[in-house]
């Protein structure tokens, strides 16, 4: 592992806050996440996303441990190197990138209001690639349940975000775009009108 995936090997011995990760060791957590991905019969791209979602924790400065502020962006950067070296297929790489970059926000999304939810959907490109977004949510559930004592915990973020996407997708974007264009709106303004309509729809829905 040290030779083939040094970014993963470096995770062993890296501590995490015990109140969030009773297993403490990041390498142990990673193995628990992979075990959960097998338990949930996740497809291979999801398992790869699970494998690489926390790479940035190995580069957290020692003076801030066991916290890992900003590890998501560091994980995404390290992931790029892994994918280049191993020639990971584009679709697999893109899923892993979404999970590495956004898994913290997805975990915290239970407290998000409508505007933040729609922004999260946009960042994940969920409107264009809803199936990939569903796969990302499965990886995040594996992450959340891949912790000591939390293997059977409910993960409400997944159904809530899928419902938010369903509601936002039902917004009649073509009609909104036509109406905005008729008022003289241009590209970015039309996009803002669609975004506002999606936020309003999600805010009005029961999630």
Q: What is the mean pLDDT of the chain?
A: 97
175 belongs to a structural domain: no
The pLDDT score that the predictor gives to residue 60 is 97
pLDDT band of residue 152 (cuts 50, 70, 90) is very high
pTM given for the model: 0.96
Mean pLDDT of 119-134: 98
In a domain, 163, yes or no: yes
Residue 124 lies in a domain: yes
**Structural domain contains residue 198:** no
Give me the count of residues in the chain: 207
Assess if residue 41 is contained within a domain: yes
Give the count of domains, the chain. 1
146-176 burial, b at 16+ Cβ within 10 Å, e below that, comes to: bbeebeeeebebbebbbebbebbeebebeeb
Q: Is residue 186 in a domain? A: no
C-alpha dist (Å) from residue 19 to 23, 28, 130, 148: 10, 15, 33, 11
The mean pLDDT of 180-202, rounded to a whole number, is: 95
Q: What is the pLDDT of residue 84?
A: 98
Query: In Å, how far are 29, 73, 115, 138, 197 from 141, measured between CA atoms?
Result: 13, 19, 23, 5, 29
Residue 207: pLDDT band (50, 70, 90) is confident
- Domain assignment present for residue 176? The answer is no
SS3 44: helix
Give the C-alpha separation, 65 to 107, whole Å.
20
What are 56-103's pLDDT values in tens digits?
Answer: 999 999 999 999 999 999 999 999 999 999 999 999 999 999 999 999
Nearest CA among 42, 23, 55, 41 for reference residue 148: 23
For 123, residues 6+ apart whose C-beta sits below 8 A from its C-beta are: 101, 102, 105
pLDDT digits (tens, 9 = 90+) for 8-43: 999 999 999 999 999 999 999 999 999 999 999 999
User: The CATH number of the domain where 66 resides is what?
Assistant: 1.10.3210
Compute the average pLDDT of residues 138-147.
98
**Would the pLDDT of 144 be above 90?**
yes
Answer whether residue 199 is part of any domain: no
With beta carbons less than 8 A apart as the criterion, state whether 100 and 77 touch. no
Q: Domain residues for 142?
A: 6-169
């Amino acid at each position: 592992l040290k030779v083939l995936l040094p970014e993963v090997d470096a995770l062993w011995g890296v501590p995490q806050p015990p109140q969030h990760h009773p297993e403490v060791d990041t390498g142990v957590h990673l193995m628990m996440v992979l075990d959960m991905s097998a338990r949930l019969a996740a497809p291979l791209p999801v398992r790869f996303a699970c494998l690489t979602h926390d790479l940035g924790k190995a580069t957290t400065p020692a003076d801030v441990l066991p916290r890992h502020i900003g590890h998501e962006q560091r994980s995404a950067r390290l992931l790029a190197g892994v994918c280049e070296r191993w020639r990971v297929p584009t679709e697999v790489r893109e899923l892993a990138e979404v999970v590495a970059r956004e898994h913290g926000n997805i975990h915290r999304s239970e407290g998000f209001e409508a505007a933040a939810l729609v922004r999260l959907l946009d960042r994940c490109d969920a409107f264009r690639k809803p199936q990939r977004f569903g796969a990302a949510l499965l990886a995040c559930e594996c992450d959340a349940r891949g912790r000591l004592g939390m293997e059977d915990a409910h993960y409400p973020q997944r159904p809530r975000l899928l419902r938010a996407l369903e509601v936002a997708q039902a917004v009649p974007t073509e009609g909104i775009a036509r109406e905005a264009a008729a008022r003289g709106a241009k590209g970015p303004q039309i996009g803002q009108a669609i975004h506002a309509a999606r936020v309003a729809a999600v805010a009005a829905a029961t999630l």
